[in-house]
Amino acid sequence: MILLLNNFLPNEHVKDVFQIDPQSLKARGVKAIITDLDNTLVEWDRPNATPNLIKWFANMKEHNILVTIVSNNQEKRVKAFADPLGIPFIYEARKPLVKAFNKAVAMMGVKKEETVVIGDQLLTDVLGGNRSGFYTILVVPVAQSDGFATRFNRMIERRIMAWFKRKGLLQWEDKM
């Protein structure tokens, strides 16, 4: 059971993407980011990037760190968000299946060891990233509300997170 649950344990956890800076990524040999969209970068119902997020993307680009959005959401949603920013994306990714993660790495022309996966969900982003062999970073969800499909996942995640906290594997004060 412990080995199975370890698939849900992120390598790192931060409050938000703004705590992830290009200098520390580059120091670890990271050249690329695969990131979720909804409740990772912006609220699930916010159509566009915030000014701070636009600066974050620009900072990554200035440091030659590639970014690809990998989302389980539909093409219309992901395209409307990513196209104005010029960020490549994969929609209907079916995370935690590994195919979209591998496709993103191929699109960026980098190795798995040079890539981090950032997301707000254990059952999709962290599990998929871990199963695919990536370094995973869990962020606190941007919004306290979720789309319908995510609400079920959150119930399961709360139980897994509570187990991690009891075992001392995760120290995190913010609510999931």
Looking at the domain assignment, is residue 175 inside a domain? no
Looking at the domain assignment, is residue 172 inside a domain? no
Looking at the domain assignment, is residue 58 inside a domain? yes
pLDDT in tens, 10-58: 999 999 999 999 999 999 999 999 999 999 999 988 889 999 999 999 9
The mean pLDDT value for 98-105 works out to 97
Number of compact structural domains in the chain? 1
pLDDT in tens, 110-141: 999 999 999 999 999 999 999 999 999 999 98
Angle at 83 between CA 79 and CA 85, to 5 degrees: 135
DSSP assignment, residue 7? T
Range of the domain at 140: 2-166
For residue 91, the tally of other CB atoms under 10 A from its CB is 18
Look at 153 and 70; give whichever has higher pLDDT. 70
Q: pTM for this structure?
A: 0.88
Looking at the domain assignment, is residue 25 inside a domain? yes
- Whether the CB-CB separation of 108 and 115 falls below 8 Å is answered with yes
Looking at the domain assignment, is residue 43 inside a domain? yes
Q: What is the CATH number of the domain that holds 49?
A: 3.40.50.1000
- How far is residue 117's CA from residue 140's CA, in Å, rounded to a whole number? 14
